[in-house]
Structure 1
Amino acid sequence: MTDVLREPSSQLTSAGTMVQTSMSRSQVALLGLGLLLMLLLYVGLPGPPEQTSWLWGDPNVTILAGLTPGNSPIFYREVLPLHRARRVEVVLLHGKAFNSHTWEQLGTLQLLAQRGYRAVALDLPGFGNSAPSKEASTEAGRAELLEQVLRDLEVQNAVLVSPSLSGHYALPFLMRGHHQLHGFVPIAPTSTQNYTREQFWAVKTPTLILYGELDRILARESLRQLRHLPNHSVVKLRDAGHACYLHKPQDFHLVLLAFLDHLP
């Protein structure tokens, strides 16, 4: 009787041991598989590009904002260089569907500050936080308004970035006051057809012509005229439309910084 009772107990103990051993091996196998997968992911996946840390700008950059003085105040957003200031200062205009906030959302303002540039993004009259202005109704008035803004903000050695609609302001200013500009970055701007080859040829300002590969209307039209600028380079952003800086922001930032960094 005693032997009969002990046998099931021994079997149960043995069975229990087998279950525990089986569970332990399973856990070890799963743990090993997990570690192997983590190792494969670590080794096999490409890491972030080196530029990632600065490509989108520094989130800790302070964005200043204000209104210029005078009868036609213009709203602006401004960043100051985080490090040793570079010589040029960047003035960012905008297209019809955008305003100065676009350059903050895109990280352009923050990036420029981190790279040592003072940068100012404007709300053109009637856009964002800038009220409509009667000066904006004429070509001369738009050029004078932009000149006054640069004077009010004490911008020196300006590089003017002008996408799309803002060509209404940038091009009249360029024709009249290009000697005040240290660089010009047109991005498929409007109004290029209003000026002659000779007028473009007279402008000696270093120019970076940017456009999106998929912009087959305004980009081509503006490029045809802008090519008459004697001191220019052209960059086409592939797989990008009219607002190429939004479609390919990393490429846009890289090209813009390369242009700025190599200005004399």
Structure 2
Amino acid sequence: MTDLRLTEQQQNYLLCFTDEHPSRTIIDLSQIFACSRPNAKKMLDRMVKAGILYKQKNDYYVTEIGTLIKDKLEREKQLLSLTMQGIFGIEEDRATIFSSQLIGKGENCIACFLSQKSKLFEHLPDPGEKVDGDFLLEILDKKTYPVHLTIFQQHVDEAESAIRPSMANKVFENTAELVIGDSPHVVFTTRPLKKEHKGHMKHGAVKELVYQKDGESHAIAFKDRRAEIPLDVFGQWTYLGGGVLIAYTWFRSYAAVNFSGHRAEANYLLVLNLAQC
């Protein structure tokens, strides 16, 4: 009986019945799927007729057969999510969203996901080639994407011929947000600053970042520990191959700790993995 064929929409309706919400109303489903109440009722009544749901007064519940089908869909959704995390390195929350969007595709869900991803790889440059930020606007939809942030010191350690990570990595979250929209930008988020001095704990926060453009200094203020940096501040992106692009720029940060201020300069490196988009 678990092989009963459901439409993609019926599967999505069925997955809305959870431990937290064992019953649903017509109003619930019309709001979740942004459809009219008559359309939601029509779908629910079809599922009642198929034996997947049953109705008591104004509430709909999942039948025993419906529960078996729903449990199977949940297992498939979890497997799809784990596949995305394991193979593509997609973060758990985003993988859960992707799997929820695709689970109704049945056996073609992985194929649909790969088809979506392949569009990002159709017109990539050669490894080592540089592209402008406009390239990202051409290949990415208007959404928010995870970007990895690492901050390096300005100076090379001559003894090791290496550029060391900056202490600022302890202050900034290592995942930033690339926001593709009418005003594309990157969001940096900081952690609260704490510093012990002479037995007293001092608290502070990063107040602003300063960058250079056309010989002039420009400041970007933080609000609620978040700063929005226009995408063009990062200039060109270098394609490393494997769907990975990097960009970096120099910032001077200003942090206020109690009544004193602290300024530091460092190079901020962004890594965008298209497989995780």
Instruction: Answer yes or no: same fold by TM over 0.5.
Output: no
Structure having greater relative contact order (Cα 8 Å, sep ≥ 6): 2
User: Higher strand fraction: Structure 1 or Structure 2?
Assistant: 2
Q: Which has the larger radius of gyration?
A: 1
TM bracket, shorter-chain basis: under 0.3
> Normalization by structure 2: what TM-score?
0.18
> Normalization by structure 1: what TM-score?
0.19
